[in-house]
Amino acid sequence: MRRVLMPTPLLILSCFGASWVLADSLAAPVNVSIRDLKGSSAVVTWDIPDGEPVIGFAITQQKKDVRMLRFIQEVNTTTRSCALWDLDADTAYIVHVQSISISGQSPLSEPLQFKTPKEAEKQASKSKDEVTMEEVGQNAQLRAGELLIIVVVLIMWAGVIALFCRQYDIIKDNEPNNNKDKAKNSSECSTPEHPSGGLLRSKV
């Protein structure tokens, strides 16, 4: 076991030694931070002191309390950010950033620690919010449909009542005329007509 573990600290010490040799020629990056943090990815950003002849960067990514490192290097670029991928959710990480110039690498930046969120809880919360919004939309549509049906039924009932009232008024107006016609017909049948329009009288 000792033979397996010994190269790792020796390698790290050798890297620190190389950085110390170049410390006077190139300053380490500053303002290292993390943005767009997700369960499986993140973006690390940094700043370079003014006047530094930087042509690239190098990033070391390590899980906290784990010896394994991931090394990311890119040259011929002036970018000040780098995406970290294939991260584990709910896991703590440590990140260092180095600047690269023609003469070599700068010292390591101050260590930045961050922890990825629980992706399952985030997705569950998001799904719950989406379901809630969908239910609210469906309920609103149902209520609008019910109100429309009620309005249509009320309009139909109002039309039926108005039609009934109109028919009732017409029938009521025609009743006096019918009574007059009946009275006239009865008087004509009981009284004989005279050619001159008068009544016939008998002489004794």
- pLDDT, tens digit (0-9, with 9 covering 90-100), for 167-186: 877 877 777 666 666 665 65
Segment 136-158 shows an average pLDDT of 84
* Residue of 196 and 121 predicted with greater confidence: 121
* Residue of 125 and 28 predicted with greater confidence: 28
pLDDT over 80 (residue 138):
no
How far is Cα 108 from Cα 95, in angstroms, rounded to an integer? 10
Handedness of CA 144, 149, 155, 158 (dihedral sign): negative
Question: What is residue 98's three-state secondary structure?
Answer: strand
pLDDT over 60 (residue 115):
yes
Question: Helices (H), strands (E): how many in the chain?
Answer: 3, 8
Task: Return left, alpha or beta for 104; rule: phi > 0 is left, psi -120 to 50 is alpha, else beta.
Answer: left
In this prediction, residue 85 carries a pLDDT of 92
96 CB neighbour count, 10 Å cutoff = 22
pLDDT over 50 (residue 23):
no
Q: What tokens were used for 184? A: 């006239």
Rounded to the nearest 5 percent, the helix, strand and coil shares of the chain are: 45, 25, 30
